[in-house]
Amino acid sequence: MTDIAEIPAQTATTKSRAAADRAAELAGEARERLSGLANQAEEAAGKAGEAISEAADKAGDAIAEATQHAMTRMRNNAELPSERGHTTIANEVVEKIAGIAAREVPGVYDLGGDVARVFSEIKERLHLGEESRAQGVTVRLEGRQSEISVTLVLEYGFVVSSVTDKVREKVISSVEALLELDVTAVNIHVDDIHIEDDGKVGDDMARAAGYETATKGVVVGKK
């Protein structure tokens, strides 16, 4: 027979074993959780490393592209040799003259694409300077030759081909006469048509009715 005194001792031993088993079970669960967290941390670190590497590559590409663009603009000059030296004309000068010439043509409401016009409006509202006359104009120069691209916003009611022909003629004559360069091409992109918010469409058409559509037929590359 079991001594009554031994019963409490056996009960305590059983409880201790159960507690030890539970402790071991909790320790195992903790190890599993820590292992899972470690794996997640390692995975996150790997993804972060990949993201940083990708961002660094993109930043490097952007810097290289910006540097190349800056170097191209630095080299994008016209050279006019003379007997006692040479004259260098920066592309910004050609762009500004071409922009002024294009704006003088009836039917041209503005120059530049949507983004360029938004920045121009912000600059004007913040009083950061006058609107750039070279807005919407890009030039490629090589020696005495220049290829010009112009982005236009036209007023409603004007015949597109008539306005663009006049712009092309005006730009060529201005650049060749003022800078003595040979314009090989004037490429024009019509980005938008402007309609007055507070005016009638008929008013624009009436104003355009008297616009002279004929041009001189300037031959590109010839003065």
Report residue 36 as tokens: 């899972």
Query: Which domain, by its residues, includes 197?
Result: 77-209
Do residues 82 and 48 share a domain?
no
- The answer on pLDDT for 7 being more than 80 is no
The arithmetic mean of pLDDT across residues 74-99, rounded, is: 82
- The answer on pLDDT for 167 being more than 90 is yes
CB atoms within 10 A of CB 107: 23
CA distance 154 to 193: 5
The arithmetic mean of pLDDT across residues 38-53, rounded, is: 80
pLDDT the model gives residue 67:
55
The pTM (predicted TM-score) of the whole model is 0.55
Do residues 47 and 83 share a domain?
no
Do residues 52 and 126 share a domain?
no
Residue ending a domain, choose from 40, 75, 110: 75
pLDDT the model gives residue 116:
47
CA distance 24 to 30: 10
Query: Is position 216 within any domain?
Result: no
Angular region, 180: left φ>0, alpha ψ -120 to 50, beta rest: left
Least confident of 5-14, 140-149, 172-181: 5-14
Residue ending a domain, choose from 50, 75, 100: 75
pLDDT class for 22, splitting at 50, 70, 90? confident
CA distance 9 to 14: 9
Comparing CA positions, the residue from 168, 111, 152, 106 lying closest to residue 135 is: 111
The arithmetic mean of pLDDT across residues 79-89, rounded, is: 80
**Looking at the 3D structure of the chain, how many domains does it have?**
2
pLDDT class for 14, splitting at 50, 70, 90? confident
**What value does the mean pLDDT of the chain take?**
76
94-116 pLDDT, tens per residue?
999 999 999 999 999 999 865 44
